[in-house]
Structure 1
């Protein structure tokens, strides 16, 4: 039902009378009555309440890396809750599982000798990282360094800072200002010289940090163009700008290395993480902080500065226990190595798809992360609907692109079947 300006939606319409749960990232009227209620899952497959079994070709929202319903993680959560569900980590207090997890993460850190800030997810981590970047420069007495640069098409969650640095403009629209946090600006996602010009125009003395995904996810699965990340890092070093890598998607093996920093040879100041630290079994994220940033805050003096971060569930004991068990599974089952071993087959299948289906204009990939872009006029949303009918899940991304990011436990045959179903769905939709 369409209403006129100044009125509210009729509360008796079917949409308004639907579920009390507000759907995320959707126009309610377009999903009401069509939502898939997921009731169980196992391995690389999920099942709906009405009995459909679907291959999870997106690993949920890029996170179900070790597959669904692992009993080891259920036991870890149960045993921890029976002992201590959680306790906060403010001031003199901490809990043993948060401390254990921090030490384990420090051992695999993409940053040498880090400190860890734990929280509840990727959006939290971005908020804290951007605040810490500004806090660093204020502590240094360089008050003008406040602006956070990010890339066009970037996605960094939807908290206030993540919304403000979003390179997907629709995520910043509708709040009354161009950016919720005004000291932000976007730069080119693939042209390092444009970034260099932007730094010169804004003035390095005004820029606190550049934040970037090593491989853009929601923006369309965009691996870095040759020399892009290296130039960004060089610009940061030359101009005293902090480099923040958002590894919420790429961290913990998605690219065939534990972190993308290894694959691309980077040395960031801050690294955010989330999804892959627990494979989604518990909401947990955080930040690796380099010595350059953390050391002054740990000075053994009465006037050492304080960084006012923290939330009730930062270092949640049960989430930490799940993460510890999850990291053991990654290690013991050599799943990061498995991603590296699967990548050649993954790349070949994607390139075969592009070569054999004229509706595909481009495929992009790194590790087990892929994007399939369709020609204008073939709607990815409808292709995704057709894929569900065939028993497979993909997801529409920016640029008329289909997401491909299966769990690490996927078999070569499952990958082949998934992309074959995608090709069929694309062809059918193009002919409709």
Structure 2
């Protein structure tokens, strides 16, 4: 074993085999629109919108102005017990009005991983309050990614995110089911017993798992199985929420009525940390009954409902609406599908292309490594990211022009041609 300790900056890189990235890190110092710039002066097209979040592009002055104005008025104040700030109230009302769940309540927190933790706890608390105390298991799907807090780690369908902690899952009452297999899901429900299952969490379109859109009718069938078995249907819209699928929420695209929706990323386009859970009436109402015996759901954190983050979210939603960016993603989806179909027809190394909304995945043959392609794309000015299944991620900002998208796919084609001829 090589025990040499590599020197490097004090910052521990996230989601990284550290020896592989030290000395190769790109220091990003500014952004503008769909582009970011390194400290070395390289201009890069942000083909992944950061981590799926930079929907309105980078360095938008309206969001900077909203943050500044709010900080000069009140940076934040907590929303515990009798206290609440006006920005959290305003944002929750606005999100409730656009929600695919009718008459919801909103739980606000700091991001997607927070939201998943809260949603899974709420699913269990819901059934405990109802006196159905055996309902504690949370189901999730193979290849799923739901953040990296304790619950997100436990329900991850990507095994490498659960490895090394001394147990199969940090939270034991969890189980993964095969992806897109209704019969397998039915078998797992029968095996565990619906009386023991609190909820199932699923991304409408899997992101980190390889950009996997659902087969026709799959999500609707899962929802019906949940209804038939008294299991909460929990939709993780951290990536898909706020326009990525051509609808404000993917639940609308697929005609779903979930019990809980988690969101983050696109609510602020990444300009400030913010996430949350949209809660259906049958889940929230028992906690609102005017009675001394009404239970308390213990959620909340210092930055829950952070006033500046909420003000930034409001400005971000204004931009989405003012510029018609949600409908624009539907147009970009059509172009992306056409471009990736051409890419697939041209290159033998492309074994599959998948598109769901303005989300694309290009799966490559074993003799071409997605990591190598992503590195070479950076060299010529484009950012993609390797995902599970030797897949390249494509998810640029909503402000991407047709020409930029075509050039991005052309760049992928250029690198693939070099790899195939090597």
Partner SS for 1:339: helix
Please state how far the C-alpha of 1:343 moved relative to its aligned partner.
1.8
1:125 to 2:112 alignment: no
Q: Could you tell me which of 35, 48, 55 is aligned with 1:58?
A: 48
TM-score for the superposition, normalised by structure 1: 0.97
Per-residue displacement from partner, 1:379-398 (whole Å, max 9, x unpaired)? 10010010001100000000
Once residues 323 and 237 of structure 1 are traced to their aligned partners in structure 2, the CA distance between those partners, rounded to angstroms, is: 33
Corresponding residue number in structure 2 for 1:401: 391
Once residues 341 and 225 of structure 1 are traced to their aligned partners in structure 2, the CA distance between those partners, rounded to angstroms, is: 21
Q: Could you tell me which of 385, 394, 400 is aligned with 1:410?
A: 400
CA contact (8 A) 1:45 1:54 kept: yes
Corresponding residue number in structure 2 for 1:6: none
Q: Could you tell me which of 149, 153, 158 is aligned with 1:159?
A: 149
Once residues 334 and 161 of structure 2 are traced to their aligned partners in structure 1, the CA distance between those partners, rounded to angstroms, is: 34
Which residues of structure 1 form unaligned runs of 5+? Answer: 4-9
Please state how far the C-alpha of 1:190 moved relative to its aligned partner.
1.2
Corresponding residue number in structure 2 for 1:2: 2
Corresponding residue number in structure 1 for 2:345: 355
CA RMSD of aligned residues (A): 0.8
CA contact (8 A) 1:210 1:241 kept: yes
Per-residue displacement from partner, 1:12-67 (whole Å, max 9, x unpaired)? x4x2x201000011111000000000000000000000000000000000000000
Mapping of residues 361-400 of structure 1, within 5 Å: 361-400=351-390
Please state how far the C-alpha of 1:117 moved relative to its aligned partner.
0.1
Partner SS for 1:343: helix
1:230 to 2:216 alignment: no
Per-residue displacement from partner, 1:360-382 (whole Å, max 9, x unpaired)? 00000111100000011211001
Partner SS for 1:410: coil
Mapping of residues 28-47 of structure 1, within 5 Å: 28-47=18-37
Q: Could you tell me which of 268, 277, 290 is aligned with 2:280?
A: 290
Per-residue displacement from partner, 1:118-142 (whole Å, max 9, x unpaired)? 0000000000000000000000000
Corresponding residue number in structure 2 for 1:321: 311
Q: Could you tell me which of 65, 78, 89 is aligned with 1:99?
A: 89
Please state how far the C-alpha of 1:110 moved relative to its aligned partner.
1.6
Corresponding residue number in structure 2 for 1:7: none
Q: How many residues align?
A: 422
Which residues of structure 2 form unaligned runs of 5+? Answer: none
Mapping of residues 213-228 of structure 1, within 5 Å: 213-228=203-218
Partner SS for 2:398: coil
Once residues 420 and 186 of structure 2 are traced to their aligned partners in structure 1, the CA distance between those partners, rounded to angstroms, is: 41
Corresponding residue number in structure 2 for 1:187: 177
CA contact (8 A) 2:382 2:411 kept: yes
CA contact (8 A) 1:359 1:427 kept: no
Once residues 99 and 305 of structure 1 are traced to their aligned partners in structure 2, the CA distance between those partners, rounded to angstroms, is: 22
Once residues 340 and 94 of structure 1 are traced to their aligned partners in structure 2, the CA distance between those partners, rounded to angstroms, is: 37
Once residues 26 and 133 of structure 1 are traced to their aligned partners in structure 2, the CA distance between those partners, rounded to angstroms, is: 32
Per-residue displacement from partner, 1:74-99 (whole Å, max 9, x unpaired)? 00000100110000000000000000
CA contact (8 A) 2:145 2:207 kept: yes
CA contact (8 A) 1:116 1:288 kept: yes
Please state how far the C-alpha of 1:245 moved relative to its aligned partner.
0.2
Corresponding residue number in structure 2 for 1:49: 39
Partner SS for 1:393: coil
CA contact (8 A) 2:36 2:46 kept: yes
